[in-house]
């Protein structure tokens, strides 16, 4: 399997009362990270994954010097081109999400899809991230 490094297009820090509490649950923070292949390298489902270190992406966006640890995640938006929509089967290992492109679902048994290299992405994957900082 080839690992294609994702391009981070934007990060939206979801604000709430998360900074006001001292308990471990109250310290959870949330962000949505928007990523895709930037129409540069094809990502063939079944043989390739689109990978992004979510902790590094958030740390580089916030620039507060704190270390981010991803606690949980979910795809909140499928990637799209003018001609196709790409679901994705996701896994997480050491703060890095790996997305295997799928055409019809978010399960391992779903049909693999290829995000082409030369086709413009009209809508990137959205990844909702719950994390803590230290």
pLDDT tens digits along 79-126: 999 989 999 999 999 999 999 999 988 887 789 999 999 889 999 999
> In terms of residue numbers, what domain contains 52?
2-133
Q: What's the pLDDT at 53?
A: 97
Check: CB of residue 120 under 8 Å from CB of residue 39.
yes
Q: What's the pLDDT at 21?
A: 55
pLDDT tens digits along 37-69: 998 999 998 899 999 999 999 999 988 888 999
Domain count of the fold of the chain: 1
Give the Cα separation of 111 and 119 in Å (integer).
Answer: 20
Q: What's the pLDDT at 111?
A: 92
Q: What's the pLDDT at 26?
A: 56
Closest C-alpha among 108, 106, 76 to residue 88: 106
Phi first, then psi: what are they for 122, rounded to 5°? -90, -20
Q: In what order do the strands lie in the sheet with 79-81?
A: 2-5, 48-53, 96-102, 85-93, 79-81, 121-123
């Amino acid at each position: 399997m080839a690992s294609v490094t994702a391009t981070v297009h934007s990060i939206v820090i979801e604000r709430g009362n998360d900074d006001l509490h001292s308990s471990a649950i109250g310290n959870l923070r949330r962000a949505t990270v928007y990523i895709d292949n930037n129409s540069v390298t094809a990502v063939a489902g079944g043989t390739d994954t689109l990978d992004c270190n979510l902790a590094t992406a958030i740390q580089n966006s916030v620039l507060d010097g704190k270390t981010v640890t991803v606690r949980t995640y979910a795809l909140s938006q499928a990637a799209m081109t003018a001609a196709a929509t790409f679901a994705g089967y996701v896994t997480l290992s050491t703060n890095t999400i790996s997305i295997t492109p799928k055409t019809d679902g978010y399960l391992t048994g779903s049909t693999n899809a290829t995000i082409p290299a030369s086709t413009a992405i009209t809508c990137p994957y959205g990844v909702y991230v719950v994390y803590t900082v230290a």
